[in-house]
Amino acid sequence: MRHLLILALLCALPLVAQSEASQKIVAATDRDAGDQALDGVRKPAHLLDFLDIKPGSRIADLGAGGGYTTELLARAAGPEGKVWAQNPKEWHDFVDADLKKRFEKDVWKNVVRVDQSFATPLPEDAKNLDLVVMVLIYHDVCNMMPDRSAMNKAVFDALKPGGAYVIVDHRAKEGTGTSAGNTIHRIEEKVVHEEVLAAGFELKAEADFLADAEDAHDFMAFGRPKQPSTDRFVLKFVKPAN
């Protein structure tokens, strides 16, 4: 009931706003087969609609991993845009080979690789950003950083007024806080709300295209090469315009 009331009150962007453009990006014939295999559980066209990316946008992808989401962002921003793909140095051995392969593609010419900690996730030139995204990673940051305030402040400072901070993650049971982060790779949604709002953001919108009422929130949310279908929250925060 709480989520229904919030959704009714929030000024959310319609999910159909860019559906044709988003579907075209997802259907690109040069996307990797591995990415396409993830589309069923990731629903990338819906995510791109929710992000509402304009050509030429400046975007940061925090915890970019091997680049699944980064590539979608780069395609949406286009050659005039710019995307910073951040990973902590501790993940180098996990992501390096995949990223090097990605950077051989023309569509990655507008992407900058960033190997920095979550506490200081972006280089000095990553300022006046239109969008920062973190997809299925916030729970991992909780495992690495007991205090996320520095990260969220860095995101706030890097965004332009009115810029958006979008977080997607696997929902944990109410009352569990961050405790499920290093066991079944989940996080209680309330934690993200509280921590991001404390950094000065305002909650703009939520979306339910990754919600799953059948998920009991008691199994491992992380799987490779196949990802399980889980109940996921999608939150859009904004930096106040003034």
Residue tagged 């499920």 (tokens): 180
Average pLDDT over the chain, rounded to an integer = 92
More confident residue, 213 or 226: 213
pLDDT in tens, 147-199: 999 999 999 999 999 999 999 999 999 999 999 999 999 999 999 999 999 99
Band the pLDDT of 226: cuts 50, 70, 90: confident
CATH number of 2-238: 3.40.50.150
For the beta carbon of residue 73, count every other beta carbon within 10 angstroms.
29
pLDDT at residue 17 greater than cutoff 80: no
Is the pLDDT assigned to residue 68 strictly greater than 50? yes
Q: How far apart are CA 51 and CA 5, in angstroms?
A: 22
11 has pLDDT over 50 = no
Q: What is the pLDDT of residue 222?
A: 86
Give the mean model confidence (pLDDT) for residues 211-238. 92
pLDDT at res. 16: 42
Contacts of 100 (CB under 8 A, 6+ apart): none
Q: DSSP secondary-structure letter at 90?
A: G
pLDDT band (50, 70, 90) for residue 224: confident
Q: Collect all residues with Cβ–Cβ distance below 8 Å to 114 and sequence separation of at least 6.
A: 84, 85, 86, 87, 121, 122, 123, 126
Region 58-81 average pLDDT: 98
Band of pLDDT at residue 2, cut at 50, 70 and 90: very low
For residues 218-231, b (16+ Cβ closer than 10 Å) or e, as one string? eeebeeeeebeebb
- Label residue 127 by pLDDT band (50, 70, 90): very high
* pLDDT for residue 9 is more than 60: no
Quickly tell me which residue has 């980064």 as its tokens. Answer: 70
Query: Cα separation of 47 and 38, whole Å?
Result: 13
At residue 83, does pLDDT exceed 90?
Answer: yes
- For position 1, what pLDDT does the model report? 40
**108 pLDDT exceeds 90?**
yes
pLDDT confidence of residue 48: 97
Task: Identify the band that residue 113 occupies on the pLDDT scale cut at 50, 70 and 90.
Answer: very high
Domain assignments of the chain as residue spans, ordered by start: 2-238
Please report where in the chains the tokens 């050509």 appear, as a residue: 55
What local confidence, expressed as pLDDT, does residue 7 receive? Answer: 42
